[in-house]
């Protein structure tokens, strides 16, 4: 069986439902020959992403295979909407291979709605591997004062408020991302109990202290974004500040999405910079994001400040 037939066989185990999701995670190196490929379902659009250059022949084979699945296994009667994004090696392009993309594109995840934008930028407004983290926040945020650091488009804030949080403070340097975050609250019917701060976190500790203390702090920083956050340099600086912002028995969700840094890197930083925080558990990634080397995947750790 050829590599493309093996990929088709794997995709025949998937369904196209109402929820946004990843269908195939080649970057987990689970299928030889397609380590550079991912396939996502942003209803009603399939997003095919290549993280290394793909020649026209392979791109054509992938499109043909998906078209067969669209009308066959997935039993879709409508036209296939397929977007192809090329990333890596200084290349960044996005093309509609078939169908179209909604101008105002809203997707849903466990009842939470998010605006996404597949046709601009490398990030689309919602990181799909963080779904279990958002679910955990929604299940555990009731009555809590929440601080959402590096809030991006505020998906964690929506999850917390849907779960009954008393207040969520969102802070991010990107005012554009926060503007989308405001819209995300609005489309979920969440019109109060949150604040948006377009500031540099490392210059805002005084303001954040005044709005605290917090029962839950979420830290989901970019792993290596010059001018914003570089994990090896900035995570220690961040961790030193967290205990003074936390209520007794408060919780911290720490996230690390740097393939080159193992989970032990973050655990060691916590031991060195804020040893008063106790490790509770790791929140597992959705099964589709399985990686042959778990340390290369997203790491999400839950800590607690004890009594």
The pLDDT value recorded for residue 98 is 97
CB within 8 A of 176, min separation 6: which ones? Answer: none
70 vs 2 pLDDT, higher one: 70
User: In angstroms, rounded to a whole number, what is the distance separating the alpha carbons of residues 206 and 247?
Assistant: 16
Q: How far apart are the first and last CA of the chain?
A: 58
**Across residues 50-70, what is the average pLDDT?**
94
Q: Please check the confidence at residue 146 and state whether its pLDDT lies above 80.
A: yes
Q: How confident is the model at residue 229 (pLDDT cuts 50, 70, 90)?
A: confident
User: In angstroms, rounded to a whole number, what is the distance separating the alpha carbons of residues 32 and 51?
Assistant: 15
The pLDDT value recorded for residue 226 is 65
The pLDDT value recorded for residue 227 is 65
Strands, E, within 51-204: which ranges? 82-88, 91-98, 105-109, 112-116, 145-149, 167-171, 194-197
Lowest-pLDDT range of 43-57, 103-117, 227-241: 227-241
In terms of residues, how long is the chain?
307
Per-domain boundaries in the chain = 3-101, 109-114+123-304
Q: Please check the confidence at residue 279 and state whether its pLDDT lies above 90.
A: yes
For residue range 125-137, what is the model confidence (pLDDT) as tens digits? Answer: 999 999 999 999 9
Q: Please check the confidence at residue 30 and state whether its pLDDT lies above 90.
A: no
The pLDDT value recorded for residue 91 is 66
Q: How confident is the model at residue 122 (pLDDT cuts 50, 70, 90)?
A: confident
Q: How confident is the model at residue 58 (pLDDT cuts 50, 70, 90)?
A: very high
Calculate helix-pair angle for 56-71, 3-11, nearest 10 degrees.
Answer: 30
For residue range 71-96, what is the model confidence (pLDDT) as tens digits? Answer: 999 999 999 999 999 987 666 799 99
Q: Please check the confidence at residue 266 and state whether its pLDDT lies above 80.
A: yes
Asked whether 199 and 173 are in contact (CB, 8 A), the reply is: yes
SS3 114: strand
SS (H, E, C) 217-284: EEECCCCEECCCEEHHHHHHHHHHHHHHHEEEEEEEEEEECCCCCCHHHHHHHHHHHCCCCEEEEECC
Asked whether 218 and 147 are in contact (CB, 8 A), the reply is: yes
HSE, side-chain direction, 13 A CA sphere, residue 50 = 21
**Across residues 267-288, what is the average pLDDT?**
97
Q: Please check the confidence at residue 164 and state whether its pLDDT lies above 90.
A: yes
Domain 3-101, CATH homologous superfamily name and number: RNA methyltransferase domain (HRMD) like (3.30.750.80)
The pLDDT value recorded for residue 70 is 97
Asked whether 112 and 155 are in contact (CB, 8 A), the reply is: yes
Neighbour-count burial for 7-22, b at 16+ CB within 10 Å, e otherwise? bbebbeebebeeebbb
Q: Please check the confidence at residue 277 and state whether its pLDDT lies above 70.
A: yes
**Across residues 11-16, what is the average pLDDT?**
96
**Across residues 209-221, what is the average pLDDT?**
97
What is the separation of C-alpha 7 from the centre of its chain, rounded to a whole number of angstroms? 24
What is the separation of C-alpha 52 from the centre of its chain, rounded to a whole number of angstroms? 21
Q: How confident is the model at residue 65 (pLDDT cuts 50, 70, 90)?
A: very high
What mean pLDDT, rounded, does the chain reach? 95
User: In angstroms, rounded to a whole number, what is the distance separating the alpha carbons of residues 112 and 44?
Assistant: 16
Q: Give CA separation, 3 vs 10, 65, 103, in Å.
A: 11, 12, 35
Fold exhibited by the domain 109-114+123-304: Rossmann fold (3.40.50)
Q: Is the pTM of this model over 0.75?
A: yes
């Amino acid at each position: 069986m050829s590599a493309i037939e093996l990929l088709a066989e794997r995709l025949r185990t998937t369904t196209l439902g109402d929820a946004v999701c990843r269908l195939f995670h080649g970057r987990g190196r689970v299928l030889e020959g397609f380590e550079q490929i991912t396939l996502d379902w942003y209803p009603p659009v399939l997003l095919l992403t290549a993280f290394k250059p793909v020649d026209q022949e392979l791109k054509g084979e992938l499109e043909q295979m998906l078209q067969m699945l669209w009308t066959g296994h997935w039993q879709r009667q409508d036209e296939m909407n397929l977007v192809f994004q090329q990333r890596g090696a200084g290349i960044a392009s996005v093309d509609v291979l078939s169908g179209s993309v909604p101008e105002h594109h809203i997707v849903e995840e466990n009842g939470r709605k998010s605006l996404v934008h597949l046709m601009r930028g490398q990030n689309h407004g919602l990181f799909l591997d963080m779904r279990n983290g958002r679910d955990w926040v929604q299940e555990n945020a009731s009555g809590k004062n929440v601080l959402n650091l590096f809030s991006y488009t505020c998906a964690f804030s929506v999850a917390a408020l849907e779960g009954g949080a008393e207040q969520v403070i969102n802070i991010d340097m990107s005012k554009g991302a926060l503007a989308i975050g405001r819209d995300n609250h609005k489309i979920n019917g969440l019109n109060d109990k949150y604040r948006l701060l377009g500031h540099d976190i490392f210059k805002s500790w005084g303001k954040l202290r005044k709005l605290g203390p917090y029962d839950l702090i979420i830290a989901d920083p970019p792993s290596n974004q010059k001018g914003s956050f570089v994990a090896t340099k900035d995570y220690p600086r961040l961790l030193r500040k967290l205990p003074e912002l936390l209520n007794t028995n408060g919780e911290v969700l720490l996230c690390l999405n740097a393939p080159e840094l193992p989970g032990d890197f973050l655990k060691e930083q916590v031991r060195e910079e804020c040893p008063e925080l106790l490790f509770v558990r790791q929140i597992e990634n959705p099964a589709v994001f399985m990686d042959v080397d778990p340390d290369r995947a997203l790491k999400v750790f839950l800590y607690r400040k004890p009594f």
